[in-house]
Amino acid sequence: MGNFKGKDILHGNQFSKKDIDTLIKNASYFEKELKKKKSLNLLKGKILATLFFEPSTRTRLSFEAAMQRLGGGVISMGSVESSSVAKGETLVDTVRTVSQYADVIVVRHPRLGSAKEAADATPIPVINAGDGAGQHPTQALLDIYTIHKELGSLKNLTISLVGDLKNGRTVHALVELLSLFQSKLYFVSPGLLRMPEEITANLKGKGMKIVETEDMMEAADASDLVYMTRVQKERFSDLSEYERVKGSLIIDGEFLKRLKKKITILHPLPRVDEIRPDVDPYPGAAYFRQVRNGVFVRMALLAMVLGRIP
């Protein structure tokens, strides 16, 4: 991808290893700066617009916090019901309108491909905050930053991705980034929630070692890191199928006691019951540290796409 200035952030496959190095360096810089002072002036005069057509806590608030920590302003569409979307306005017209007010747009929408549609409707940068069961590239970037911080490296890692690999847009984006570092991956899910075949085939085509299994203990014992995900109830058209698979893969205190070695546990959150609260005090339970890293990574991304840092 090279220089991020003016670019849309739509898919995990758009980044090179060098892009990841640059992003980690810049996010790490902002992490250190925020320890010294509460806010910076780098994006003073710039405006971020957040358009969320689906619920969010972390992605929207961390983007808004990141922009404000950089001295920029934020405007938000608010809920779908309180905007003109409720009157039937299209995504394209909403984006065209908001482009008249803002310098960068962050969009989350339930439809696969919607972020690209939004990006094609405006000359200003659009950042994909989740398009249906498609991609969530900024979550993947903060996951990579967290893995680098927690494990000290991105090379030669064995990582288990667990849960709803079919519908989980965070894992769809993360595997694209992990493929740059030739990690060995375990895909752990019930049969109904397997990673889409085209994604697995594409990764294998890049030479990645992938093991598909339903045995989470075997995978965790072989891994440096376990990335848990929620079963995405909102993506099921048949709720009886959801009832059949929910709660099939759970990490709790008993599971940790049976592990052969210490591991790191990440989760994009929100969790339902796949990581029980008795796991939270475990030193390797890094999911709330992961949440915090989202602010530093999104500060770096905003500063880069707005051309204020290389």
- Tell me which residues touch ligand CP (CB under 6 A): 56-59, 139, 268-270
Return the number of the residue (142 or 188) whose C-beta is nearest ligand CP: 142
Q: How far does CA 32 lie from the centroid of its chain?
A: 22
Least distance to ligand CP, CB of residue 300, Å: 17
Return the number of the residue (54 or 218) whose C-beta is nearest ligand CP: 54
Least distance to ligand CP, CB of residue 225, Å: 17
Return the number of the residue (2 or 270) whose C-beta is nearest ligand CP: 270
Least distance to ligand CP, CB of residue 269, Å: 5
Return the number of the residue (98 or 269) whose C-beta is nearest ligand CP: 269
Least distance to ligand CP, CB of residue 74, Å: 15
CA–CA gap between residue 186 and residue 86 (Å, rounded): 42
Specify the DSSP class assigned to residue 224. Answer: S
Return the number of the residue (42 or 146) whose C-beta is nearest ligand CP: 146
Least distance to ligand CP, CB of residue 201, Å: 26
Return the number of the residue (79 or 84) whose C-beta is nearest ligand CP: 79
**Inter-residue contact 129 to 64 (CB < 8 Å):** no
Percent of residues in the chain assigned helix, strand, coil, to nearest 5: 45, 15, 40
Query: How is 260-305 classified by DSSP, letter by letter?
Result: SS--EEE--S--SSSB-GGGTTSTTB-HHHHHHHHHHHHHHHHHHH
The helix (H) or strand (E) run that includes residue 97 is helix 91-98
Least distance to ligand CP, CB of residue 282, Å: 20
**Inter-residue contact 149 to 213 (CB < 8 Å):** no
Q: Give the start-end residues of each E strand in the chain.
A: 47-52, 73-76, 104-109, 126-131, 158-162, 184-188, 210-213, 225-228, 264-266
